[in-house]
């Protein structure tokens, strides 16, 4: 749709694959330890051959820190999207299937989630849970499930009206079996698209929360916390800010392109167009 379906799929897939490989093989790819290899003698060296992205105020190699930061971003992105998908699908399937008061409760919850900007909600949860990787996953995994919920619910309702579900019920299928064998396969494509695009959103949110000091705390490297540290030195040591931001940008760009490309394949009617 945007760009050509094929090229966005391949460029996006390539960028995401690169990010994942970097995260997995961080210890081999990094030049130095991201936290311990501080050396004030090497502080604030601009990018050169030895330190491709330069060094920070403590003399740590920015490149190595970014390599390790990929682990945080991807962990948060993937884990939180698994949470969101599970919550959204469970609520959406059951709401659409059982209807009645439960449906009202779920749609009330969905409207609620829509009314509170997810970043604000995540901020509140982080404030309660305190900083850390697990808190980030929980905060971001609880706050943006409304999309998958809506799609799951809509799909159940449409299958219901086509008689699929009635037929399965007559055959003696249990409610759960119907939900998982009849409905879920129908929404797998859109769900994958939503999760891919949502992963990009979660990585941006992680960076924002860490930037505010609520996510990953220094000295442990996350792209957001690196930017948080770098902000005060933007005037004198700009490269501290440039590279973590580029890492976020290319990872999220990869996920967005991949999501667009996957949508062309998995969801041609485009129920997942971002609205």
Partner 1 sequence: MLIVLARRLANIVPTVVAVMALVFLLFSVLPGSFISGMNEDGRSTIDPAVMERMRKEMGLDDPLPERFAKYMINVATGDLGTSFRTREPVTKLIGVRVWPSLKLVFAAMLFAISVGVTLGFLAALRPGSLIDTAAMVGAISGLSLSQFWFGLMLMYLFALTLGWLPSFGYGDGGLRNLILPAVALGVGPMALLARTTRAAVLDVLNADFVRTARSKGMSERRVVEWHVLRNALVLVVTIVGLQFGSLMGQAVVVEKLFAWPGVGSLLVDSVFQRDMPAVQGCILMIVLFFLFINTLVDLAYVAIDPRIRYR
Residue spans of alpha helices (H) in 46-183: 62-98, 100-115, 118-129, 133-141, 146-161, 164-170, 175-178
User: Which residues touch 272 (CB under 8 Å, ≥6 apart)?
Assistant: 147, 151, 190, 193, 194, 197, 263
Minimum Å gap between C-beta 198 and partner 1 is: 13
Minimum Å gap between C-beta 222 and partner 1 is: 12
**Contact status: 242 vs partner 1 (CB under 8 A):** yes
DSSP letter string, 173-188: --HHHHIIIIIHHHHH
C-alpha distance across the termini of the chain, in Å: 16
CB nearer partner 1, residue 11 or residue 157: 11
Minimum Å gap between C-beta 116 and partner 1 is: 6
User: Which residues touch 136 (CB under 8 Å, ≥6 apart)?
Assistant: 76, 80, 126, 206, 209, 210, 215, 216
Site for partner 1 in 164-203 (CB under 8 A): 200
**Contact status: 27 vs partner 1 (CB under 8 A):** no
CB nearer partner 1, residue 55 or residue 228: 228
Interface residue with partner 1, options 260, 261, 264, 271 (CB under 8 A): 260
Q: How many CA atoms lie within 13 Å of 186's alpha carbon, on the beta-carbon side?
A: 20
Interface residue with partner 1, options 77, 221, 244, 261 (CB under 8 A): 244
Let me know: does 95 contact 222? Beta carbons within 8 Å.
no
**Contact status: 101 vs partner 1 (CB under 8 A):** no
Task: In whole angstroms, give the CA distance from residue 249 to residue 260.
Answer: 16
**Contact status: 249 vs partner 1 (CB under 8 A):** yes
Size of interface with partner 1, in residues (CB under 8 A): 49
Interface residues with partner 1 (CB under 8 A) are: 1-3, 8, 108, 111-112, 115-117, 119-120, 123-125, 127-130, 200, 204, 207-208, 211-214, 227, 230-231, 234-235, 238, 241-242, 244-245, 248-250, 252-253, 255-257, 260, 273-275
């Amino acid at each position: 749709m945007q760009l050509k379906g094929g090229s966005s799929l391949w460029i996006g897939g390539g960028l995401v694959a690169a990010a994942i490989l970097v995260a997995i093989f961080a210890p081999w790819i990094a030049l130095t330890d991201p936290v311990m290899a501080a050396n004030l003698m090497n502080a604030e060296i601009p990018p050169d051959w030895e330190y491709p992205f330069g060094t920070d105020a403590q003399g740590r190699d920015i490149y190595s820190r970014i390599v390790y930061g990929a682990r945080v971003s991807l962990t948060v992105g993937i884990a939180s999207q698994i949470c969101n998908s599970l919550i959204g699908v469970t609520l959406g399937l059951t709401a659409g299937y059982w209807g009645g008061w439960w449906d009202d409760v779920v749609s009330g919850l969905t409207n609620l989630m829509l009314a509170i900007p997810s970043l604000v909600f995540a901020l509140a949860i982080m404030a309660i849970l305190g900083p850390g990787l697990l808190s980030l996953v929980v905060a971001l995994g609880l706050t943006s499930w409304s999309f998958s919920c809506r799609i799951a619910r809509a799909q159940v309702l449409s299958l219901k009206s086509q008689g699929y579900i009635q037929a399965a019920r007559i055959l003696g299928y249990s409610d759960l079996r119907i939900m998982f064998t009849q409905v879920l396969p129908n929404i797998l494509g859109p769900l994958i698209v939503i999760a891919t695009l949502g992963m990009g959103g979660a990585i941006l949110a992680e960076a924002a929360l860490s930037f505010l000091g609520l996510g990953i705390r220094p000295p442990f490297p996350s792209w957001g916390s690196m930017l948080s540290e770098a902000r005060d030195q933007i005037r004198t040591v700009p490269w501290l800010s440039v590279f973590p931001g580029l890492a976020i940008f290319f990872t999220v760009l990869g996920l967005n392109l991949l999501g667009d490309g996957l949508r062309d394949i998995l969801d041609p009617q485009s129920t997942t167009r971002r609205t």
